[in-house]
Amino acid sequence: MTRDVLAVRSDLTAIEAIQEIRRQAQEDFDFYTIFVTEPDGALRGVVALQDLVISDPDHPISGITEEPMAVVQVDTDQEDVGRVLARYNIPSVGVVDAAGRLVGRVTFDDVIDVIEAESTEDILRFAAVSDEEEVRGTTLDAIRSRLPWLLLNLATASIGATVVWHYQSTIEALVLLAVVMPIVAGLGGNAGTQALAVTIRRIAVADEPIGQLWRVVGKEAVVGLLNGLVVGLVAAVAGHFLIGAGVRFGAVVLLAMWGNMVVASFAGAFFPIFLESVGIDPAVASSVFVTALTDLSGFLLLLGLASAVLL
């Protein structure tokens, strides 16, 4: 916010307002909006420069004052201010205090810097990197910010490893499963990341209530259902003809990959919306949960189906 704001009182005439604008404009700052305030400083509205110029000189400025398209409070988050300017496509927005008095403004050029900073923060958090780490930070800064997330990821990855350990006899009997396991888990992870990225971006820019965002979960589940069917069929057919895996083995791969991509797409949309609804930044924690769930479901479906169908 800048306190350099051009404002005129609502009790002035058009010619008096123009004279006041000339006086304030000599203080060498750019202005995009003319704010109109009451004598006590409360924001009354805004007036277009064109309306002011063509009005009768003695016409009260209150007669051409319009309600502002948007205002923000002094404690409004800077990212929310950027969304307001983008949503209403206005060059500047007035900032008011708790009593409704005009205390400053935020202009679009300031918001560009804010959006860049917030985008960098979201990208770092999406990769499970603390926003405390600067892009050009030192090696020690990088280690300190990334190591806790890697340790947490180690703990969640161990859950999937326990499933592999449980089915070790199945893997010993069907060594080909060891070749397919990373494919099923990897494709599930990619599907989950796609849904996760789209959902987090939608939360950031769409400005929708949580109730409407839940519909995204159903959409992503359907996307995973269709994509999983196609990818699973291709993998099963390729395995049958290229390595002679057999029809039953191909069916196991198809069902495991299909189911895992549905779970991944569902989780990629569900976790960020759920975390947002409980007040946790979805860009920070979502990827850890989605990765753990896709690995767990992928291994469980593949090895569980193989044990039931092939042994």
pLDDT digits (tens, 9 = 90+) for 72-101: 999 998 878 888 887 888 888 899 998 899
**pLDDT tier, 305 (very low <50, low <70, confident <90, very high otherwise):** very high
Model pTM score: 0.63
Per CATH, the homologous superfamily of domain 159-309 is SLC41 divalent cation transporters, integral membrane domain (1.10.357.20)
Cα separation values, 5 from 43, 99, 171, Å: 12, 18, 71
CA dist., res. 287 & res. 292, Å (int)? 8
Where are the domains positioned within the chain?
A: 7-107, 159-309
Task: Assign a CATH topology to domain 7-107.
Answer: CBS-domain (3.10.580)
pLDDT tens by residue, 12-30 = 888 988 888 888 876 656 6
Q: One fold for both 7-107 and 159-309?
A: no
- Please give the backbone phi and psi of residue 90, each rounded to the nearest 5 degrees, phi first: -115, 150
Copy the structure tokens of residue 103: 């205390």
Handedness of CA 27, 28, 29, 35 (dihedral sign): positive
Helix segments in 167-246, DSSP class H: 168-173, 176-205, 210-213, 215-242
